[in-house]
Amino acid sequence: MPYAGVNGQRLYYEVGGEDEMCVLLHGTFADADIMEAPATGLATGLRALRIDRRSCGRSSPFDAPFSLADEAADIAALLDWFSTEKTSFLTHDDGAEVAIEFALQYPHRTRQLVFMAPTLEGYPWSAETVAQRADLVAGMRKDARNTVETKLLTQPIFEALKEREGLHDRITDIYRRCNGMAVKHERPARTGPAHAQRLGEIQSKTHVFIGEQEQTERILCARQIAMGIRGAEFVTFPGLGRFLQIEDSRQVMRKLTDIFMPE
């Protein structure tokens, strides 16, 4: 298995293609395999690098709190590992928060940003969503395997996948590998404004993708990101939910091709 030794971590990665770099980032409870389909498509015209984020998947466990700044530094060190100065990002779920942190900390190393079903640090989530997340994290710390089955995979976003043959098993198998290490510790408290108050500082060209069947609160969060970043494009995909890059990879890939590999 390919690993990069950066910042005291062993980060698992898969890379394909040539030319400009695009880093693909998954959400906390998944791993790089959730980004396989878009990585394969992008590798026809870019150097597509997907990783297991710090303490996720096949990357080495990190038994201490770590911040978004730490994860952004991991990406910067990974670019150095590949002797690459600048990168674009394609992210899913809260992988967007790492890319936003990177764009704020390393604007000179950031080309383009594409966020799929993103979350946003500092977004005013409802009390119900906050409580659900806290319950999920607490369960992961005690018994990750049981929590994945009883609290994560029973959520409506996964139940909806059963309507598409083979898709439910394909995606849930990725989440069943979650070991809970990435949420074992709370992130250190941030000093200064959260991302929600700093979106206007991002200068990179940005696209925000959301599925039409996504949960309402997640759609509103995605829209706030698009509204907060100057010139950002908000793209809605009809008939798709949380996992739009897998639910209809061709439709999503056509848009990604227009963005990253225009004729």
Q: Where are the domains of the chain?
A: 3-123+191-260
Q: For residue 160, what pLDDT is reported? A: 86
Residues in contact with 172: Cβ distance below 8 Å, sequence separation at least 6, in sequence order: 153, 158, 161
Residue by residue, what is the 3-state secondary structure of 168-211?
HHHHHHHHCCCCCHHHCCCCCCCCCCCHHHCHHHCCCEEEEEEE
Distance (Å, rounded) from C-alpha 112 to C-alpha 127? 33
Q: Which helix (H) or strand (E) holds 223?
A: helix 216-228
CATH superfamily of 3-123+191-260: Alpha/Beta hydrolase fold, catalytic domain (3.40.50.1820)
Q: For residue 262, what pLDDT is reported? A: 87
Q: For residue 28, what pLDDT is reported? A: 94
Q: For residue 73, what pLDDT is reported? A: 98
Q: For residue 164, what pLDDT is reported? A: 81
Q: What is the mean pLDDT of each run of 10 residues along the chain (263 residues)?
A: 91 97 97 98 97 96 95 98 97 98 98 98 98 96 96 93 88 95 92 97 98 97 98 97 96 97 84
Q: For residue 111, what pLDDT is reported? A: 98
CA-closest candidate to residue 27, choices 117, 109, 102: 117
Give the CB-side neighbour count of residue 86, counting CA atoms within 13 A: 11
Instruction: Report the predicted TM-score, pTM, of the whole model to 2 decimal places.
Output: 0.97
Q: For residue 162, what pLDDT is reported? A: 87
Q: End-to-end CA distance of the chain: give it in Å, rounded.
A: 35
Distance (Å, rounded) from C-alpha 244 to C-alpha 116? 8
